[in-house]
Structure 1
Amino acid sequence: MQLGDCLFDSQRGLLTHQVTQEQWFLPRAELQVLRLLIANHDKVVAKHVLGSADAEHLALSDSSVTRAVFMLRSFLGPAHEHMIETIKGKGYRLRLESQSRKRIKKPSTPVWVSVFISRLFGCQHRRIKLGVGLLILAIIPLVVMQWMGQFSNHSTYTEPFSKQVITLESGQKVMLISYAKSKTNNTSLLALTQRLAQGIKLCESAPWKQVYLSLSHDKQVFNITMKGDKLGQSIVRNLKLTDFRQNKVFISDQWLAEVSLCE
C-alpha cells in the first residue's frame, strides 16, 4: 500500500521509503498501530483501540501508542507526516493522500460582483465586464487555496516529556527522548532515563542518534527504541524490559553488559 513516499507491505511488516530507499521492519507497536489506522482510514481510532491486546500480546500502554505514532511520522518524513492526524482527546486518524488532496471547485462570480460591474461599465461594455469577471475568477481560487494551505499541513503533536543530549567520547551526540502520559508522577521514568544515559555514555561511539523511552501505565514494562544509521543504512533497535517485582530495577549492571548498547 502506498503511504506518501513510502510503500507498506502489511504481510511482511515492512515500510520502505522509496526516495531514500530506507527499509524498516516495524516492531510490534508500530505495526499494530499502522495496520489498525489503515483498516480504519479516514476515521478516528481511539488510543485504547490502537493499543488493544491480541492472542499473542498484551495491551500497549498509551505512551507506547504515542511513541509508535511519533516513529511512524518520523519515517514518513516532513512532506507526509501530516497523514497521521492527532484528534485531541479522541485518538488518531490516517488521512490518505488521495483524500487529502481533493480539488477545490472554482466558485462562480458572486452576484454582487456582476451587478457592480454592470452598473459601473454599462451593458455596452461587455468585453470589459467579461475580462474583469475572468480576472476575479482567477484570483478567488488562489486566495482560497492560500487560506486553506495554512491549515492543510497542520497536525497536533504529542510533546515529549523530556529530552536529553549526551556526548560520547568520540564527540558523537545522542538524544534521549522520553514520553509519558502525563507530566506528573514520572520519577521512575526519569530515573530509568538517567540510568540508560549512564550506560550509553560508556560507549566510545555508537550508531544511535535518537533513543525513545516510555514506561507502561502500570510501570511494569520499559520500552526502548534506538534509531540511527550504520554503513549508510538506517537501523532501528527495539528493547522491551519487564519487571513485575515491587521494587523494580529494569536496568542492572549485568543487563548493560549483556545488551551491548554500543552496537
Structure 2
Amino acid sequence: MRNWHHKVIKLIPVFLFVLGFGQRSQKHYDSICSIAYKDDSILYLKLRKEARHVNYKKLTEKIINDIQWDSLKKANLIFYITSIKREFNPMDYHPMKTCEFDQKSKNPNYNDTIFWNKKNIEFIVKKYKKNLIPKIATSFIYDKTNTFFVIGLNHFIEHTRKQKEGIFKDSRSHQEKFHYFAYEKQEKLVLDNEEENYNQLFLSFTNELGNIVNVEYAYGDGALLKQYRVEKKYQYVNKKWIEIKDDE
C-alpha cells in the first residue's frame, strides 16, 4: 500500500506539467483563432466595399455560358448548395484544431446561394431542358428535419418544397424523397443509381480583392461526383467580366 502511495505522489508533478502544457497550448490556439477572426473580418469589409459598383448579373450570365453543358447530357441534374457555416482552419500543422467561426471573407459578394436563385434556376430549366434537383450539402430538400441546420436558406427551401416531388433510389434499394424544379411534367421523377439517369454539377466560389471571383466547375455522371473539374478566374474590368489567368 505504501509503495502505491509513493507512485501516486511521483505522478502528481507529471500530471500538473501535462495539465499546464495543455492550458498553454489551448491559449496558443485561441490566440491564433482570434487573429484569424480579425483578419477575416477586415478582409470581409474590404470585399464588401469593392462590390458596391460591380454588376454581378453579367457574371452569372458568363458562368452559365461557361458550364460544359455537353458533359451534362441527361435530363436530370443534381446541383449543390454548400452549408452557409464555413469552419476555418488556419492551423495547417494541427488539423485537429479548428477555429469555430463563419469565414465571411470566403465569398461574400458572389457564392452558390446567389447563383442558384429562383430566376437563374427557371432560366436553366427552360433553356437547357433540365429537371434541376437541389441538394444542400449532402441532403435533398424534402422534410424539415434534413435541412433544419441551414442558416440563410429558409426562403429557398420553402420555395423548393412547393415544387414537384421525386424519389431517389440508390444501389442498396434505399429510397429518398425530394423536391425538384421540373421541366418534364411527369407523374413522379425517379432517379436511379443503377440506371444512372442523372448528372451532377458542383460549383464552388471564392472571392478575392480586385473584383475577382474564382469558380470551380465539378462534373459528375450518375453517382460519381467530381469526375473532373475545371477552374476559372473572372475579374470585373471596365464594367465587363473577363476570364484571366493566375499570373495576370
Larger Cα Rg: Structure 1 or Structure 2? 1
Structure with bigger strand share is 2
Report the TM-score when normalising by structure 2: 0.26
Larger RCO (CA within 8 A; separation ≥ 6): 2
